[in-house]
DNA sequence: CCGGAACTTCCACTCAGCGGGAGAGGAGGC
DNA sequence: GCCTCCTCTCCCGCTGAGTGGAAGTTCCGG
C-alpha cells in the first residue's frame, strides 16, 4: 500500500475481512464510525471498503446509514457444509422427532471447544432454552456437547477438561468426574444433563454417525431439551436413536466423500 | 496493482469477492483451478487470495484440496436481516400452520424480480416442491410471488410484466391477464396458482404486513403448496391469515425501525 | 445561527500486491 | 518403471492501486 500508511503488513483483504468481523450477534447493524473503530481501520479506508462490499452485496446500507449483512452473504452462507449437507438432510428427521416428542429438538456439531447449534425446532415455551441456530455453547454442560466431546480426539478432550466453567450449581466441573462421564456416554451411546447449563432445563442427546472407511465417525449430535427430573426421559432414547440413524444413513448417501 | 498487471482497474477487494462469487448452488465445492477460471483471476493470484480467505475462515480447504464455504461465512449469513428478523420470528408460526395443515409451508420475500424463499417446512412428499431455503423462483408463477408482486412498486410490476416466461401450460403469460390477476390479489388479499409453476402443484399465499408510519407494508408472503384442484383450498385462507398477522405483529415489535 | 458529530470527497505518495515462471507433487498411461 | 500431463505451491522484481490526512459537506440539536 502507500500514502502515509502507518499500518504496515496488513493486506487489503485482511482489512476487508476485519470489517466483516465487526459484525456479530450483538452488533448486526453498525454505522461507519462504529465499523471503523471496531475493525481498527481508519475511517476513510473503512468507508471505501464498505462501499465496495456494499456494491457487491456483501453488506446493505439502510436508509438510516447503518450497514447490515446483505443477501449475497446470506446466500453464500447457505452453501456451507453444515447448512447444505447436515441441515437439509436432518431437518425432516428433527421435524419427526418434534412431532412425537413435543419438546425442543436440536442438532449440533463440534466447533473447536464449543457445541455449534445447526438446527433447532422449539417446543412449548415451558423450558428455558438458550440455543438458537448459530449459537455456540460449552461442550461440558450440554447434552449434545457431551456426546460431541465423548467422540472428540484426545487432545480436544484434554483441552476441554482444562477449563470446565461452572454455569449452574449442577455443572460438572471436576475433570475426573467428567472423564468418567464421557466414558459412560461412550458406553451408553447417549448423554444426559440436569440443569448443568441453565436451571430448569434437562437434556438428552445421542450421536449422529456416518460410516467411513475408517469406521463410524460421529459427525453431529441430536438432542432434546426437557423440564428437569422428567421420569420417563430414557424412554425417549430410542426415538432419538432412530432419527439419528436415519440422518446418518441419509448423510452417507448424500455426502461427498473423498 | 503492479507487476505485469494486465488486469487494470480491478481492486483487490473485487478480486476476492469475485472468488467468492465462483461458489454457487451448482458449485459449492471447487478446486483452485476451477475458482481461478470461474472468477477470471490468474491462478497465482487466486491461490494467494484463497489462502487469505481460508485463514480467516471464509472458506475451508478440504482434505482433497477443494475449497468450500467456511463456518465464518455461515455465521455472518445468519446475521442477515432476512434470517435474523424474518426467519426467527416466522419459524414458530410456520410450524403452527404446518401442524394444522400438513402440507408444505413457506415464507418468501421479494428479491428484485424473484421470490426468495426464506423458510420452508416440507409436507408429505405427495406434491412436487421445487423450493428450498435460498431458492429464487419467478414472481408470476408462484402463489407467494403473486402476493409479493401485487404489493410491489409500479416500476417493478411493469418490469416483471415485460417477461412472463411460460413454465407449464397453465402459466399466466399475458400481461393483461396478469394485471387483472394482481388487482384481484390486492382485493382478495390472497393469491392462488394451479400448476402454473410445476405440474401437479397448486399453491395459496397471503401477504405478511407490518404497520409503518406510512401505512401497512407487505414485507413477505406466507404460502402453502398442495395437490392441484383441492376442493376446500380456500378454507385454508383464514389459517394463513392468522399466522401472517401473528408474524406481522411480532415483526413490528422486534423490528428496528428508522 | 452556531458548534459538533458523522459522513463523503480529494489527492499525492509509495509499498503491498501482482502474476509469469520455475519447481514440486501426483495421477494415470504405456 | 518411466514418462507425460495436470494441479498446486513458491519465488521475486516491477509498479499503479490503495492509503489515509485534510478539507468539504450534511445534518442535528441547542
Residue B127 scores a pLDDT above 80: no
pLDDT of residue B229: 81
**pLDDT tens for the 258 residues of chain A, in order:** 544 445 555 888 999 999 999 999 999 999 999 999 999 998 999 999 999 999 999 999 998 999 999 999 999 999 999 988 899 889 989 988 988 888 899 999 999 999 999 999 887 665 677 788 999 999 999 999 999 999 999 999 999 999 999 999 999 999 999 999 999 999 999 999 999 999 999 999 999 999 877 788 999 999 999 999 888 899 999 999 999 999 999 998 876 543
The pairs formed by B7-10 with CB atoms below 8 angstroms and a separation of 24 or more are B7/B42
pLDDT of residue B129: 72
Residue nearest C21 (alpha carbon to C1') = B44
The three cell numbers of residue A27 are: 452488533
Q: What is the C-alpha to C-alpha distance for residues B34 and B46, in angstroms, rounded to an integer?
A: 10
B249: Cβ–Cβ under 8 A, 6 or more apart, which residues? none
Query: CB of residue A2 closer than 7 A to nucleic acid strand D?
Result: yes
Residue B56 scores a pLDDT above 90: yes
Q: What is the C-alpha to C-alpha distance for residues B245 and B252, in angstroms, rounded to an integer?
A: 11
Q: How confident is the model at residue B258 (pLDDT cuts 50, 70, 90)?
A: very low
The answer to whether the beta carbons of residues B94 and B107 sit under 8 Å apart is yes
Q: How confident is the model at residue B123 (pLDDT cuts 50, 70, 90)?
A: confident
Q: What is the C-alpha to C-alpha distance for residues B158 and B33, in angstroms, rounded to an integer?
A: 42
What does each C-alpha distance from A3 to A6, A8, A45, A234 come to in angstroms? Answer: 9, 11, 12, 67
What 3-state DSSP class applies to B197? coil
**Residues B69, A77: C-beta atoms closer than 8 Å:** yes
Residue nearest D6 (alpha carbon to C1') = B33
The answer to whether the beta carbons of residues B85 and B103 sit under 8 Å apart is no
> Which of the two residues, A9 and B131, has the higher pLDDT score?
B131
The minimum CA-CA distance between B183 and chain A, rounded to whole Å, is 29
Helix A175-188 to helix A143-150 angle (10° resolution) is 80
**Residues B16, A20: C-beta atoms closer than 8 Å:** no
**For chain C, which bases have at least one atom within 7 A of a protein Cβ?**
6-10, 12-21
pLDDT of residue A8: 56
Query: CB of residue B153 closer than 7 A to nucleic acid strand D?
Result: no
What 3-state DSSP class applies to B62? coil
Strand-pair partners of A215: A212
Range B1-25 average pLDDT: 77
The three cell numbers of residue B107 are: 415464507
What 3-state DSSP class applies to B172? coil
In chain B, whose CA is at the least distance from the CA of A66?
B258
The model's pLDDT over B196-248, given as tens digits with 9 standing for 90+, comes to 999 999 999 999 999 877 788 999 999 999 999 888 899 999 999 999 999 99
* B11 in A contact zone (CB under 8 Å): yes
What 3-state DSSP class applies to B117? strand
Strand-pair partners of B210: B217
Chain A partners within 8 Å of B213 (Cβ): none
Q: What is the C-alpha to C-alpha distance for residues B242 and B92, in angstroms, rounded to an integer?
A: 13
Counting residues of chain B whose pLDDT is more than 90, the rounded percentage is 75
Q: What is the C-alpha to C-alpha distance for residues B129 and B126, in angstroms, rounded to an integer?
A: 9
Start-to-end CA distance of chain B, whole Å, equals: 40
Q: What is the C-alpha to C-alpha distance for residues B67 and B233, in angstroms, rounded to an integer?
A: 46
Footprint of strand C on the protein (CB under 7 A): A 1-3, 5, 8-14, 31-33, 43-44, 47-48, 65; B 1-7, 12, 15, 41-42, 44-45, 48-49
Sheet holding B59-61, edge to edge: B29-30, B67-69, B59-61
* B88 in A contact zone (CB under 8 Å): yes
The answer to whether the beta carbons of residues A90 and A114 sit under 8 Å apart is no
Q: What is the C-alpha to C-alpha distance for residues A225 and A127, in angstroms, rounded to an integer?
A: 7
**Residues B20, A76: C-beta atoms closer than 8 Å:** yes
Q: What pTM was estimated for this model as a whole?
A: 0.90
pLDDT of residue B257: 46
Specify burial of residue A156 (Cβ count, 10 A radius: 0-12, 13-18, 19+): middle
pLDDT of residue B4: 47
The minimum CA-CA distance between B71 and chain A, rounded to whole Å, is 7
* A132 in B contact zone (CB under 8 Å): yes
- Please give the backbone phi and psi of residue B215, each rounded to the nearest 5 degrees, phi first: 105, 180
* A111 in B contact zone (CB under 8 Å): yes
The model's pLDDT over B78-102, given as tens digits with 9 standing for 90+, comes to 999 998 889 988 998 998 899 888 8
pLDDT of residue A258: 39
Query: CB of residue B55 closer than 7 A to nucleic acid strand D?
Result: no
Positive or negative, the Cα torsion across A213, A216, A218, A222? positive
DSSP string, chain A: --SS--STT--HHHHHHHHHHT-BTTBSEE-HHHHHHHHT--HHHHHHHHHHHHHHTSEEE-TTS-EEE-HHHHHHHTTSHIIIIIIHHHHHHHHHHHHHS-SEEEEEEEETTEEEEEEEE---TTS-----TT-EEEGGGSHHHHHHHHTS-HHHHHHHHT-----STT----HHHHHHHHHHHHHHT-EEEESSSSTT-EEEEEEEEEEETTEEEEEEEEEEEE-TT-TTGGGGHHHHHHHHHHHHHHHHHH----
The answer to whether the beta carbons of residues A130 and A198 sit under 8 Å apart is yes
* A28 in B contact zone (CB under 8 Å): yes
The model's pLDDT over A237-255, given as tens digits with 9 standing for 90+, comes to 999 999 999 999 999 887 6
What 3-state DSSP class applies to B52? helix
What does each C-alpha distance from A57 to A54, A253, B18, B21 come to in angstroms? Answer: 5, 34, 12, 11
Query: CB of residue A13 closer than 7 A to nucleic acid strand D?
Result: no
Straight-line distance from CA B52 to C1' D26, in Å? 38
Strand-pair partners of B68: B29, B60
Amino acid at each position: 500500500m502507500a500514502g502515509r500508511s502507518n499500518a504496515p503488513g496488513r493486506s487489503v483483504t485482511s482489512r476487508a475481512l476485519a470489517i466483516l468481523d465487526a459484525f456479530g450477534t450483538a452488533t448486526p447493524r453498525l454505522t461507519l464510525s462504529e465499523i471503523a473503530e471496531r475493525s481498527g481501520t481508519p475511517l476513510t479506508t473503512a468507508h471505501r471498503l464498505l462501499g465496495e462490499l456494499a456494491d457487491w452485496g456483501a453488506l446493505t446500507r439502510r436508509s438510516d446509514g447503518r450497514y447490515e449483512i446483505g443477501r449475497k452473504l446470506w446466500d453464500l452462507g447457505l452453501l456451507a457444509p453444515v447448512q447444505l449437507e447436515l441441515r437439509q438432510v436432518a431437518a425432516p428427521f428433527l421435524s419427526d422427532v418434534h412431532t412425537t416428542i413435543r419438546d425442543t429438538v436440536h442438532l449440533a456439531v463440534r466447533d473447536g471447544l464449543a457445541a455449534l447449534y445447526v438446527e433447532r425446532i422449539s417446543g412449548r415455551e415451558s423450558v428455558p432454552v438458550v440455543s438458537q441456530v448459530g449459537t455456540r455453547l460449552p461442550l461440558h454442560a450440554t447434552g449434545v456437547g457431551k456426546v460431541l466431546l465423548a467422540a472428540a480426539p484426545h487432545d480436544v478432550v484434554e483441552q476441554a477438561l482444562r477449563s470446565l466453567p461452572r454455569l449452574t450449581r449442577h455443572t460438572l466441573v471436576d475433570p475426573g468426574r467428567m472423564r468418567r462421564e464421557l466414558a459412560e456416554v461412550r458406553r451408553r451411546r447417549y448423554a444426559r444433563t440436569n440443569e448443568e447449563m441453565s436451571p430448569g432445563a434437562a437434556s438428552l442427546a445421542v450421536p449422529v454417525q456416518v460410516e467411513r472407511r475408517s469406521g463410524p465417525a460421529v459427525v453431529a449430535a441430536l438432542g432434546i431439551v426437557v423440564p428437569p427430573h422428567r421420569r420417563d426421559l430414557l424412554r425417549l432414547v430410542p426415538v432419538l436413536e432412530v432419527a439419528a440413524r436415519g440422518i446418518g444413513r441419509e448423510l452417507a448417501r448424500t455426502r461427498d466423500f473423498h
